[in-house]
Amino acid sequence: MARRPSRELREIRRDLERRPARRSGSTRVTYRRRRASVTLAAVVVLAGAALLGSAIAGNSGGHTGHTGHVPTRSTGSSTATQPTTSHTTTSPPTTTAPNRTRTKRQRTIPATFAVASLQLTYEEPSAANIATGRTVLGTPVRTLPTLVLYPSTGRAGSGSGATPAPAKADGPFPLIVFSQGFDLAPTAYLGLLRAWARAGYVVAAPTYPDTDFNAPRTPDEAPGTLNEADIVNHPADLRFVVSSLIGTAAERTSPLYGLINAQQIALIGHSDGGDVSLAAAANSCCQLPHIAAAVILSGAELASFGGSYFASGSPPLLVTQGSADTINVPACSVQIYDAAPAPKYYLNIPNAEHEPPYIDPGPMRTGVIRATLAFLAAYVKNRPAALNALQDGGSLPAGETLSSGPAAPPLSTTAIAGTTTLTTPVTNTVCPGA
């Protein structure tokens, strides 16, 4: 039976709900995105209050002074990446009465799980000019469809038809909240999302307003267009989704009941979604509490959010970047990495452009999956073996390199000529910003 949500889980949700990132509904700004140098429509500027940036208890000890291998917490004992079988050795027979004490068998957690999914829809109270709709009572809201993938038993659950039953006996599981890039649906990233869920994570991927043509639309948006400038509202959307998921996991009638460990939350995002995830992890404008780790896939520091990056530290950070990316140039990821406190990691993907390493099947995406899972295992699950192996020269399938020094590797050495349409690295030394 799933256990009752703890008082600490309820406190985490209250902590999220009582610090909403504030929006202003009247300011107009010009937003210039890396994807296309165009001026977009008027938007709402996110005026964030500085938020509590501390990570969850038990994880803060690894946030500073990290070099080399990932330390194992003294309170943890699960450092292996694969389940093992224990063997009990008995003593030779003696003349005394045999010891009939039975050794309790330790439960083995599967290395991989079957994956099931469900679609949730959350409605976030909102100012009317950035709302995407209204409730039946007329309250303006931003509608946030959220795809959730979760570990399952692979067998149909009772009373749920053909829906696979959640693997509650092996939970609760860490939560990953993934933010997609502009003009890309979350389903474009299913290869990544499924891989993370198979490894024992609940993975939630909200669709933010104005991010793709199937997303809810704000009133200012012209027919047949997308409004990328609505990104300034997305960190608050992300906060609302995290809080709502914790609430859903506390509902006995939900398939997610008892399935989410609210003390183990990771944020991951690509491109614009990487900008949003970075702001929620490390910007004073909109920093979320209780974040265990963050992964920024070809993202940047976005000035439109306001606030200051890394002023209050950040959770452990993995930055990934393609060396041939002309949309989010390598200098943008270098800027993030160099400013971030340790522990931090930089995954260079030689000759990779902006989307293929995260969307297209092949060695690049396999390498991203392997690196992200190793990083998450180390800093969310306290199982550093796989990440340490990569740092000790473990190979990645597309020639990716993982580094953890104080500065990112030089841009001039981050591409292998002749293996892509771009035969030289993108060597911009300054991130053009957004």
Residue 34 covered by a domain: yes
> What's residue 85's pLDDT?
31
- Residue 376, both tokens: 């998450």
| Dihedral over Cα of 374, 380, 384, 388: its sign | positive
pLDDT tens per residue across span 176-221? 999 999 999 999 999 999 999 999 999 999 999 988 877 777 776 6
Mean of the pLDDT values across residues 398-419? Answer: 73
Among 50, 33, 12, 235, smallest CA distance to 144 is for: 235
Q: Kindly tell me if the per-residue pLDDT of 381 is higher than 50.
A: yes
Q: What pLDDT score was predicted for residue 214? A: 76
Cα separation, 80 vs 196, whole angstroms: 18
pLDDT confidence tier of residue 292, bands split at 50, 70 and 90: very high
Q: Is 118 helix (H, G, I), strand (E, B) or coil?
A: strand
Residues β-bridged to residue 317: 294, 344
- Cα–Cα distances (Å) from 162 to 75, 125, 146, 155, in that order, read 40, 34, 21, 8
Q: Is residue 419 part of a domain?
A: no
Per-residue confidence (pLDDT) for residue 9, from 0 to 100: 56
Q: In 3D, which of 50, 54, 56, 53 has the Cα closest to residue 381?
A: 56
Read off the tokens for 41: 């429509």
| Distance between CA atoms of residues 357 and 297, nearest Å | 9
Q: What pLDDT score was predicted for residue 365?
A: 97
Buried residues in 250-272 as b, exposed as e (16+ CB within 10 A) = beeebbbbbbbbbbbbbbbbbbb
Lowest mean pLDDT, pick from 36-50, 238-252, 305-319, 357-371 = 36-50
pLDDT-derived band at 429 (thresholds 50, 70, 90) equals low
Please give the Cα distance from 371 to 375 (Å, whole number).
Answer: 6
Q: Regarding predicted confidence, which is higher, 30 or 126?
A: 126
User: How far apart are alpha carbons 290 and 266 in whole angstroms?
Assistant: 9
Q: Poorest-confidence range of 105-119, 269-283, 372-386? A: 105-119
Is residue 83 assigned to a domain? no
pLDDT of residue 29: 39
- Please, are residues 369 and 297 in contact by the beta-carbon 8 Å criterion? no
Token pair 């993938």 in the structure block, residue:
149
| CA-closest candidate to residue 163, choices 266, 255, 95 | 255
Helix (H) or strand (E) holding 322: strand 317-322
Task: State how far the Cα of 379 lies from the Cα of 370, in Å rounded to an integer.
Answer: 15
| Residues of the chain above pLDDT 70, percent | 67
In the three-class reduction of DSSP (H, G, I as helix; E, B as strand; rest coil), residue 402 is classed as: strand
How much is the average pLDDT of 294-299?
A: 98
Is 311 in contact with 391 (CB distance < 8 Å)? no
Residue 60 lies in a domain: yes
Distance separating alpha carbons of residues 147 and 141, to the nearest angstrom: 19
Q: In this structure, are residues 344 and 320 in contact, taking their beta carbons and an 8 Å threshold?
A: no
**pLDDT per residue as tens digits for the range 222-270:** 666 788 999 999 999 999 999 999 999 999 999 999 999 999 999 999 9
pLDDT of residue 157: 53
**What's the pLDDT score for residue 394?**
81
- Among the residue ranges 80-94, 120-134, 144-158, the one predicted with the least confidence is 80-94
Cα separation, 279 vs 234, in Å, equals 10
Q: Is the residue at 425 inside a domain?
A: no
Q: How do residues 4-49 score in pLDDT, each as one tens digit?
A: 445 555 666 666 665 544 454 433 333 444 443 333 333 332 333 3
pLDDT recorded at residue 278: 98
Pairs from 213-216 (Cβ < 8 Å, separation ≥ 24): 214/185, 215/145, 215/185, 216/132, 216/133, 216/142, 216/143, 216/144, 216/145
Report the number of distinct structural domains present in the chain: 1
Residue 270 located in a structural domain = yes
- Residue 95 forms part of a structural domain: no
Lowest mean pLDDT among 26-35, 127-136, 287-296: 26-35
CATH number at residue 166: 3.40.50.1820
Which residues span the domain enclosing 209? 8-66+110-413
pLDDT given at position 280: 98
| CB count in 10 Å sphere of residue 320 | 28
The answer to the question of residue 101 being in a domain is no
Per the rule left: phi > 0, alpha: psi between -120 and 50, beta: everything else, 271 is: left
Residue 410: band (very low, low, confident or very high) from pLDDT cuts 50, 70, 90:
confident
Whole-angstrom Cα distance, residue 242 to residue 235?
11
